[in-house]
Amino acid sequence: MICNVVSMQDNLRAEIAGEIVLSRSPGKTMKKWREIFKITQAELASHLGIVPSTISDYESNRRASPGTAVIKRFVDAIIAIDLSKGGKIVSKLTQSAEKEEEYFTTHEFATSISGLDFIKLINGKVMANEELISSKKLYGYTTIKSLKVILDLPSTQFMRLYGAMGERAFIFTEVSTGRSPMVAIRVASLKPSLVVLQRLKEVDPIAVKIAEKEQIPIIITDMSMPKIKEVLNKI
């Protein structure tokens, strides 16, 4: 039970850090998370051993974008402060993350993998943008229950699909044509490096056109999800 709680907190850390890294305005995203945790600038600065004006400078983008070390200290600090108060926000966010497994799961690779090697591992067949595969590098993947995500997942949770790194594969299950997942990706601000449509024989022509416009390769595979996870989780 303790190990599970620690793991969920680590996932929360990775999610917050990933959103800051991927944000076009890291300072504003840091401010958003500080406010979600109901922590004042003075409180955060005191915990970090710096002056409040430094926090203000980051949040207003008056300082250069924070590096990984700064982001890690920030994330560790807001979680530690909340835990010292009883951990209500951490508990709420980790419970929310647990429910999201009904919609999707994310996995980060220990090392990057090329698009070509990824396709070989899942016995995939490229259906769109084959010429782009060699330039793709992946740092993780997300399995997505296609229809459930499109119909039920709140738009505010969409960023969670990208885990810690945006350069990843989206593996859609329970698909019928592939059109709906590609339409959803078309209107999203962030895009996956490639899309896998699991257990799909034919890809909708509209899905292919969207993929070509967005420069995202589409791959199909007959491999079962348990087997896909088994081979990919070894990376």
Spatial neighbors of 212 by CB under 8 A, at least 6 apart, are: 128, 129
Q: Looking at residues 158-177, what average pLDDT do you find?
A: 85
Nearest by Cα to 232 from 178, 174, 169: 169
Measured between alpha carbons, how far is residue 11 from residues 54, 92, 223 in Å? 27, 14, 27
Average pLDDT value for the chain: 88
Q: State how far the Cα of 19 lies from the Cα of 193, in Å rounded to an integer.
A: 17
Spatial neighbors of 121 by CB under 8 A, at least 6 apart, are: 113, 231, 232
Q: State how far the Cα of 29 lies from the Cα of 26, in Å rounded to an integer.
A: 5
pLDDT in the model for residue 207: 96
Q: Parallel, antiparallel, or unpaired for β 137-145 and 104-114? A: antiparallel
Q: What is the pLDDT of residues 65-113, one digit of tens each?
A: 899 999 999 999 999 999 999 999 888 777 666 566 678 888 888 788 9
Q: What is the pLDDT of residues 192-216, one digit of tens each?
A: 999 999 999 889 999 999 999 999 9
Q: State how far the Cα of 190 lies from the Cα of 119, in Å rounded to an integer.
A: 22
Pick the more confident residue, 156 or 215. 215
pLDDT in the model for residue 159: 74
Total Cβ atoms within 10 A of residue 155: 8
pLDDT in the model for residue 3: 46
Q: Looking at residues 10-23, what average pLDDT do you find?
A: 86
Total Cβ atoms within 10 A of residue 99: 9
Q: State how far the Cα of 195 lies from the Cα of 44, in Å rounded to an integer.
A: 40
- Same CATH fold, 103-232 and 2-98? no
Query: Which CATH entry fits the domain spanning 103-232: 3.30.1330.10, 3.30.530.20, 2.40.30.10, 3.40.1390.20?
Result: 3.40.1390.20
Are the C-beta atoms of residues 194 and 136 closer than 8 Å to each other? yes
Which class does domain 2-98 fall in?
mainly alpha
| For the chain, domain boundaries | 2-98, 103-232
Question: What is the percentage of the chain residues whose pLDDT exceeds 70?
Answer: 91
Are the C-beta atoms of residues 118 and 173 closer than 8 Å to each other? no
Q: Which two tokens stand for residue 202?
A: 């034919």
Predicted TM-score (pTM) of this structure: 0.63
